[in-house]
């Protein structure tokens, strides 16, 4: 493959991309099954669903090529496999902060995974106010030639965190350069307010009392 954003040069036909991306799709499916099973089991045991919703995504060919190009890495599927850990991703939306940590702890106990990267932006938010829990797990995918680990980026956040992140993305995309400093300050304040409101609402929820009932 040649360097440069030219889709025809990175794949002679669609099958080359499909062959490359298939195990990433399989890895996402495996994690989704884990999460769905966890949610059902938690509901059965504790009468509470920690997961509100899930969204999965797989990078398109254009997106893979563009990211390698921006990083200054010669474009090839081999390079994508070696250097990109976000080709496959899942976003998990929870009701409560404690649900986020429940899911994180259970995911870490799964067999056939390796921890590639972990960052707790809830305990230590980004400077702009962004909060979420990020994991990159190497998920075992079995195929005819054997087994191999494929990275899946997992973002776990609450409804409030997801609302803020979605609005921040939309507002910053539309903001003109002169507005961005003020906007960043306002968004940080909004993040702090949402964190306070979220904490107050979470106190209304007493999982121990609910489990005892």
Residue 92: give its domain's CATH number: 3.30.460.10
Give 161's pLDDT tier (boundaries 50, 70, 90).
Answer: very high
Average pLDDT over residues 112-138: 96
The pLDDT of residue 10: 47
**pTM of the prediction?**
0.86
99 pLDDT higher than 90: yes
pLDDT (0 to 100) of residue 8? 55
Crossing angle of helices 14-46/97-108, nearest 10°? 110
Q: Bigger pLDDT: 143 or 39?
A: 39
> How many independent structural domains does the chain possess?
1
pLDDT of 198 > 90? The answer is yes
In a domain, 142, yes or no: yes
Taking residues 107-118, what's their average pLDDT? Answer: 92
Residue 187 sits at φ, ψ, to 5 deg, of -65, -35
- The pLDDT mean for the chain works out to 89
Q: Is 211 within a domain?
A: no
Residue 79 buriedness (CB in 10 A; 0-12 / 13-18 / 19+): middle
Positions marked active-site: 153
The pLDDT of residue 204? 86
How far apart CA 125 and CA 131 sit, in angstroms, is 5
- pLDDT tens digits along 1-38: 454 545 555 446 578 899 999 999 999 999 999 999 99
Distance CA 26, CA 141 (A): 7
For residue 185, pLDDT beyond 70 = yes
Domain residues for the domain of 92 are: 7-203
**Residue 74 — pLDDT band, cuts 50, 70, 90?**
very high
**Residue 210 maps to a domain:** no
Cα 157 to Cα 160: distance, rounded to the nearest angstrom: 8
46 within a domain of the structure (yes/no): yes
| Encoded tokens for 53 | 């919703």
């Amino acid at each position: 493959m040649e360097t440069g954003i030219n889709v025809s040069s990175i794949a002679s036909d669609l099958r080359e991309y499909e062959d490359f991306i298939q195990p990433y799709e399989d890895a996402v499916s495996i994690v989704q099954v884990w999460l769905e099973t966890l949610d059902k089991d938690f509901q059965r045991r504790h009468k509470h669903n920690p997961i509100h919703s899930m969204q999965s995504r797989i990078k398109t060919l254009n997106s893979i090529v563009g990211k390698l190009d921006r990083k200054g890495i010669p474009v090839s599927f081999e390079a994508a496999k070696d250097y990109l850990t976000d080709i496959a991703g899942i976003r998990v939306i929870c009701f409560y902060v404690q649900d986020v940590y429940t899911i994180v702890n259970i995911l870490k106990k799964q067999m056939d995974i390796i921890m590639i990267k972990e960052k707790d932006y809830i305990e230590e938010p980004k400077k702009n106010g962004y909060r979420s829990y990020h994991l990159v797990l190497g998920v075992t995918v079995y195929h005819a030639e054997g087994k191999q680990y494929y990275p899946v980026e997992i973002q776990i956040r609450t409804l409030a965190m997801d609302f803020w992140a979605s609005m921040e993305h939309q507002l910053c995309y539309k903001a003109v350069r002169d507005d961005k400093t003020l906007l960043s300050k306002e968004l940080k304040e909004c993040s702090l307010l949402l964190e306070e409101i979220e904490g107050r609402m979470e106190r209304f929820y007493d999982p121990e009392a609910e489990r005892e009932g």
